[in-house]
Copies of this chain bind each other. A is one copy, B any other.
Amino acid sequence: MLFKKIRYIFDEKGARNTGIIVMNKKVSLKDIASKVGVSTALVSYVLNNKKTDRIGKEIAGRIKIAAKELNYRTNQIAKSLKTNKTFTIGLIVADISNPFFSALARIIEEEADKKNYTVIFGSAEEQAEKSFKLINTLLDRQVDGFIIAPAENAESNVNYLIQHDVPFVLIDRYFPLIETNWVTLDNYKASLMAVEHLLAGGNKRPGMITYNTTLNNLRERKTGYENALRKNNIHFEKDWRKEILFDSNIKSSVEKAIDELLALPVPIDSILFASNILAFHGLKYIHSNGIKIPGDLSIITFDEMEASDLFYAPLTYLEQPVLEMGQLATKILLENIDMKKDPVQIKLDATLVVRKSTLPILFK
């Protein structure tokens, strides 16, 4: 990756002297300095617009011209070594190919770029050990900070960052006991809203399909569901809620869960899915079993479900403010990189997008 470059040797007056072909060499400050006949220090000052008041206009002009002529590009690695700053942030999510995370990645990339930061990413697959490995790999590369969607049981990772004074912002999930920056959805509120929407539509026995995890975002979705029932004087039967293991075969687990929910002595009449992936598999199964939505079953889910636009009953869903989430996380991180600040903790509201899958019973 070396530049083939013709470098000329110049005398003090800048007149071309000899043409010597130097292969595989990028042009450095030194090349500019020797072309113009000044020190590298001066070149550095001029190109970085520092001490502008103290440097002769004429010489500054000549330096800039020479830099352009030689097609100079600063070696950020060298600069980083000296300044101890890489203008790079590490993004660690569960899986970059998950639509939610890739949407976030895109937004973070754009926000970062505005401030001349670059993004390195890694997928930790919901595994704390993988995440720890990634953190260290990226720290070795001297990233200035992290945006992380932490895995279950990754408290130690987060504490590691705190101990080492590394700026970071958690996204999507956080650990209630650890005082740090995070930006997430108000999952409790969203879930409560979802279930109350089901109840308002005339449903009496809402079920829930979620993951079996201690991740607080999903725990809050469970609590929201429970409290919505309580508030509405509906006794919560624990058989109404099914929890899927992260590392199980999601498809068959969801199918089994639905079978069980519908085989109850008094079956549930509606389902809240805790994620689009769960909803996708659930919907396919429900549909293939000839169960009518919303007639037999009302359905609501977290996360946008574009896939259901083509379904006869497009799904009602809780839309996450991904744009705001990504922008805020990046903003908070970059501020913390510039200067250590007090932790900022932000819960954003979901938007309930009502569609056919929760049509009230009256109109079914």
Contact code string A83-94 (vs B, CB < 8 Å = 1, else 0)? 010101000000
Instruction: List, in ascending order, chain B residues with CB within 8 A of A178's CB.
Output: none
Instruction: List, in ascending order, chain B residues with CB within 8 A of A41's CB.
Output: none
> In the assembled complex, how far is the CB of residue A122 from the closest CB belonging to chain B, in whole angstroms?
7
A264 at interface by CB-CB < 8 Å? no
Which residue of the partner chain B has the closest CB to A122? B109
Instruction: List, in ascending order, chain B residues with CB within 8 A of A142's CB.
Output: 1, 75-77
Of A97, A145, A165, chain B has the most CB atoms within 10 Å of the CB of A97
A44 at interface by CB-CB < 8 Å? no
Which residue of the partner chain B has the closest CB to A133? B113
A363 at interface by CB-CB < 8 Å? no
Q: A105-B97, A109-B121, A123-B109 are in contact. Are A284 and B310 (CB under 8 A)?
A: yes
Instruction: List, in ascending order, chain B residues with CB within 8 A of A76's CB.
Output: 140-142
| Those of A57-103 within 8 Å (CB) of chain B | 73-78, 80-81, 84, 86, 88, 95-97, 99, 102-103
Which residue of the partner chain B has the closest CB to A139? B73
A294 at interface by CB-CB < 8 Å? no
A196 at interface by CB-CB < 8 Å? no
| Those of A293-328 within 8 Å (CB) of chain B | 306-312
**6 new A-B contacts at CB < 8 Å, known A1-B145, A3-B165, A307-B310:** A75-B142, A96-B109, A97-B103, A105-B121, A109-B121, A118-B120
